[in-house]
A and B are shown apart, each in its own frame.
Chain A
Amino acid sequence: MAAQHTILLVGESNVGKTHYGAQFLKRLMVKGGALKMSGAPTNLEAFTTALSCLSEGKSTDHTPANIYVESVWPISDEAGRYAELVWPDYGGEQVRNLVTQRRIPAAWHERVLEATDWVLLIRLHSLRSEDDLFSRPLQSFAAAALEEEAPAYEPSDQARTVELLQMLLYLAHFHLDRPLQKPRLTILLSCWDELETTELPADLLASRLPMLWSFVRSNWTSPTVIGLSALERALSKTDADQEYAIRGPEEFGYVVLPDGVKDSDITLPIQRLMADGT
């Protein structure tokens, strides 16, 4: 009986979940990476559109908000370990709604309970960086205008992400009394190519989202932070990228491992989870 790895893939809209899923699947099919497909996948429906877009060198459409599909892929690694990888694809609004509406649909509750590994996708480039009194002091405080109505505001990106992880931990019945070994947490900093940085992924996360990093580091014994560029370059929805069309999407995309090494095998984040998992 193959071990089952159910990935809880968590990411808000537009972080690149579908692109990563499609590229991952493509790598499994061409058997070029550390993980290979062993047998036929049960259902590719979720990724057919994305795969055909990428093959032409176009980016795929936004996954509709209400969709949640899972596909099961039989995989094996170089050491001969077999596993069934359950990979989801869904509209990222669902994740944001968990935090804003604070009502957890039963389906999400089950997913969290079943998952063996958590993969959180964060696209640093799309997060706001806000100045406050300490980063940009105010020379003279204007007399506080007496607006008594509460100003509308959105919680900061860090607070929202920390709250999301706290909610997931609660749903999965984990307590923070001691730092957690399981579920293993991998943070993928997606669209790494946009960031144009040479920093190590963990250092970059620590400097950009220090509160989130502190939360992760104090509650997990060994969190992993990996940079991910699933496409390697920005693709347009309408204009095909010629090189993509000619060489195929499997020739593009890379990960930046925790030690800063760049590798074109984007299955490595999951392979690492399988390797330490059992």
Chain B
Amino acid sequence: MDRCSHPNCFADDNTTCTLGHIRLDMCPEWRCVSKGAVTATSDSDQMSLPWSGLAMGESDLNFISGKVKPITVGIIGPENAGKTTILGAFYLLLGRGTLTTDANPFSNSYTLAGWEAVATCLRWKPGQPPRFPPHTPSGAARAPGMLHLGFRCEDGSLRDLLFADAPGEWFQKWAINEQAADAEGARWIARHADVTLLIADRQALAGPKMGAARNDFQLLAQRAVAGARGRRLALVWTKGDVEVAPAMKAQIRKAVASVSSSVPEFTVSVSPLGQGDAAEDFRKLFGWILCTKRAGVDLPTTEASGHDPLFRFGRR
């Protein structure tokens, strides 16, 4: 599809139109591009909103991050590992009111339509059992689609989380070549994620191509751990109902632990595990994400006599 001529608009990549038009044929910028297409009459009497509800692109983030920088959660893993399903599960639990405790109630989301889109497959519909979300489309976008959730903290302030939903191909290319031309989105996540979830797909690690899956994971883990540079990182086993050989588990853990020895581990599954509650595992993972704190700014200690940090360096 054509690209919008507006420099900050990535509407061709399934994200919000930067001018807030949900119907692209109503957007004056877009109409300049798609001349000849049937256009709807614009109504100057109406006002559009700065968010569309769909996943946000890089330049929409200003709307959320205007005041306090939100916490960005990057989900890194190969194709078909269940990254989008994790997000869908979070949203379903939010809709059931059990994602967080009363101490951190849900406050707002400017990407509700985007959340609905990832969760809708996991719902029962007349004549249709739940399915896995479709493959996340990969374009050559520079930043992934972002899904937003805001929570109220106990002190009354808001904590905004942004979940990056990126296609697995980006990470596979990035694992092989950090500077790969079409891995710009993966690099964006590595650069911006405050929290990284590194996905180990148990089904792949126990399947017929387990050797390749292990090798791919080791490459990706190396890259992700290096990219995290000490920021929070967790190992998340998806498809937890599938058994993996103990030696394989050990190899995966070794790949993650090569730099830091205390990487938290989570196992999630949307199929009931028999003994446990499937929802509880997602809740634990989300709880861990939510307690992320942005590292505070350490003001350098100086010998200046004034107490005002603004004038610390002014005097010698």
Interface residues of A (CB under 8 A from B): 101-106, 109, 130-139, 141-142, 144-145, 147-148, 150-151, 153, 155-156, 158-159, 162-163, 166-167, 170-171, 176-179, 206, 210-211, 213-215, 217-219
Contacts and interface: CB of A to CB of B under 8 A. Distances in A.
A106 B107 CA distance: 27
B4 interface: no
Contacts of B47: 103-106, 109, 171
A107 to B, nearest CB: 8
B130 A214 contact: no
B113 interface: yes
B107 A218 contact: yes
B116 A217 contact: no
5 contacts: A104-B48, A130-B124, A133-B130, A156-B116, A163-B53
Interface string B34-63: 000000000101111110110000000000
B300 interface: no
A170 B49 contact: yes
Interface of B: 20, 22, 43, 45-50, 52-53, 67, 89, 92-98, 105-110, 112-113, 115-117, 119-125, 129-132, 134-135, 150-152, 156-158, 270-272, 278-279
A215 B46 contact: no
B94 A211 contact: yes
Contacts of B95: 132, 156, 158-159, 210-211
Given A137-B270, A162-B109, 7 more contacts: A105-B46, A106-B45, A137-B278, A138-B129, A141-B270, A176-B158, A218-B106
Contacts, number: 139
Contacts of B53: 102, 163
Closest 10 CB pairs of A and B: A210-B97, A218-B152, A218-B105, A153-B120, A103-B46, A131-B124, A214-B106, A214-B105, A104-B47, A218-B107
Contacts of A170: 49-50
B112 A162 contact: yes
Contacts of A106: 45-47
B49 to A, nearest CB: 6
